[in-house]
Structure 1
Amino acid sequence: MNQFLYQTYADLGTTTEALEGEEFQYFSEFHKFWEQYHKEILNPQIDENQCALVADVLHDIFIKFKAKPFYELYNTYSLKTEEICKIRYFSANQDFRGTRDFENLFEKYREDPSIFDIKNINQNPEDFLKNIGITGLSQNDKRVKYAITASQILINNKIEPYDFLSFCNNDIEEVRNLLIDNRGSGFGNKKTDMFLRDMVVLGVWKKPKNFDKIDVASDINTTKVALRSRILKTDIILISSFLDIFCYQYGLIDQMNALAWRKVWEIWSHKYPKECIESPCLIDYIVYRVIGKDFCKESLCIFECETKKHTFKWHSGRNKTCQICYKNKIKNKAYIIDKILPCTDSEGYIVIEQSIFVSGNNPLLPGIKECPFEVVCQPKGKIFRKLNSPKSISILGQTGWESAKTEIDEGGGGLMS
């Protein structure tokens, strides 16, 4: 089993399918099999009926709360549009897992604009990464390459990031193609779509052509919601990243997730052409940040009193007090015995009502008591499955597949934590 899954040999062959056309020896016999058959085994499909239900939900949100839930992003500290664009350009391609607090980067720029000097980034990428505080994060070798290549694009074309749109004849799809086609810059489909969406939402670029061609920036949260709402289905539950050698599953689901959300938008815009957002990518914020990251997680906490006499549900895991006893003016401790999705329990409103998006300052969805997607997911019914997004192990780097490779007659291999 170990040999089939994790060991290679000289005559096994090579692949160029995984990473920007580079040639790699197959990691194992299973790698060769998985590359050939992963699409057939997973068989991802977009369910248009479910997409129509989600489209209706998003339309209802648009009608009740206007466009704000689809445009909310972050504080830009009154920086000029040119400055916002530069900061976002040089940070979007570094955002592997939502690791960057972009508001923090805007503050760093205000303190020292030279950090984002194009030539300095190109010549001293390690200093740039250190200055924005990401040298301690994973995959630093990739980050250096991305900083150099992204800055070189600007140097070669003698432009600033803000100039991309005019350079491409006000066509944001041309900007998209330009960035994606420059391999090694870190701008794959989703990071590019995320950057371009932000430039429009933040008012950096006005009324670009082909904005509707920009997709939802597929990530762990938008994919999770797609799977749980069943707009995206697979024949089998997704496999572990330990088996997804060279990330074939991850790439396929990533691609299909973007297409599924595009289908939602197409149905919505066709059904309600005058009551719809301008592009699929604008679905991203509410699905990623509000639904996926805030509502669709195990945040309804079930506590047991230290007396063992009763249990209760609460919105915060930081609670240390038995709230039932407290109401009776008795002070007892309480301990978490379980955490569940709010939507799966009749008392889930306890969490939703306390969300910053519902009852915080200037909330996006004031007054709601349940996740808007509950009508689609049907989480209290038998059909619901709490499916998770795929994860990936990088091909290159100290913690990547290439570092883990070993020959059959050598043994060992794998990674160390």
Structure 2
Amino acid sequence: MISDPRGFLEQLFRAAVERALPLQNMQAHLPPPPRGRTVVLGAGKAGASMAHALEALWPAAAPLFGLVVTRYGHTPPRPPGLSPRIEIVEASHPVPDAAGLQAAQRILALAQGLTSDDLVLCLISGGGSALLTLPAEGLALEDKQRINRQLLESGANIGEMNCVRKHLSRIKGGRLAAACAPAQVVTLAISDVPGDDPSVIASGPTVPDASTCADAVAILQRYRIEVPGALMSLLEQGALETPKPGDPLFDGQVVRLIATPRESLEAAARLAQAHGLAAHILSDEMEGESREVGKVHAALARAVARSGEPFRKPCVILSGGETTVTVRTPPVGMARGRGGRAGEFCLGLAQALQGEPGVWGLAADTDGIDGMEENAGAFVTPDTLARAMAQGLKVDQHLARNDAYGYYSALGDLLVTGPTNTNVNDFRALLVL
């Protein structure tokens, strides 16, 4: 039925990505042009492709201008014949840099002086938290970079990380919307977070924030992350609070999700069904340690392969969400490894599957970049462990130093796609034949 399991899993991934491309999803969510100006502001790994889609779909006679920031290398060629109306700049992700700081300053400046006749279209996607960096007064960029790096390595989930980011920012957590008042703000967002909460996507620069300074303090203490004493005092006093739900500044503001993880998983499921396979979506909201989530998926796949429970084979098992990786101190004599969430999931999956016959897996980030590497993710096959052992690679050692990239690179099992120009987060598919 499926002659090339790896190729088929990659087809499922590409179907999921295709479903989330901005040009296919934006038209139905666009408001009519206003009486005044239309200003475009945005940030995220899908920012450039969202800007291109808007330029193609917005009426040619209606004025349009603005600025969007995306990750280095994530600006696709502008389609032939498409006139540039929105400026696109690039900055660093996942650790912010000076380019992101400058972009955030310019975006905040563009929000000034607007009237009620004006419309602000905010193009928001995952990655915007790092790309749209404007530290709170008294917080240096170097401190923001350190805090961001420590959060990424701590095992904190995306909601926790973004709670801290909002309260240490002058633009996130609804503050950009406040700067745009009294203009109408319509946010077009691509969700990359479990539950599709707009206040978590890119740290919600245009939506109210229900989290508090006290929440941010608790998170910093939980993961033992230090901030400058003066900033901690301000957090403890509640002086860095964000605009809250019910604030009149959000009256009439609109948030529209143009692509979500669930929709992409459903697209992959339809493709599997078209090939005669049953397709089961576990969840689009999975969180937890990547390696542990991999082990849970392995247990399910083995049960299906051996006993036909809870699903009958042949089938495809799909899931999404955003797992985390706690970066560990490597054993003495070992260097810290390389890799991201998808690769670490695959290490845990392979370790627990123990070469189960008839089970293949793929985990990949839908933006095409797993962590800070050039691969989107990795494949797991029934002979992954055997091929690794033949090369002297031990999965336990690679897990101990978070080195999924080194493991799967040596096996030739990395999935390399380049930037996909969208981002609906983790994609995982198990094929049980």
TM-score, normalised on structure 1?
0.23
Higher helix share: 1
- Of the two, which has the highest radius of gyration? 1
TM-score, normalised on structure 2?
0.22
Structure number with the bigger relative contact order (C-alpha 8 A, sep ≥ 6) is 1
Higher strand share: 2
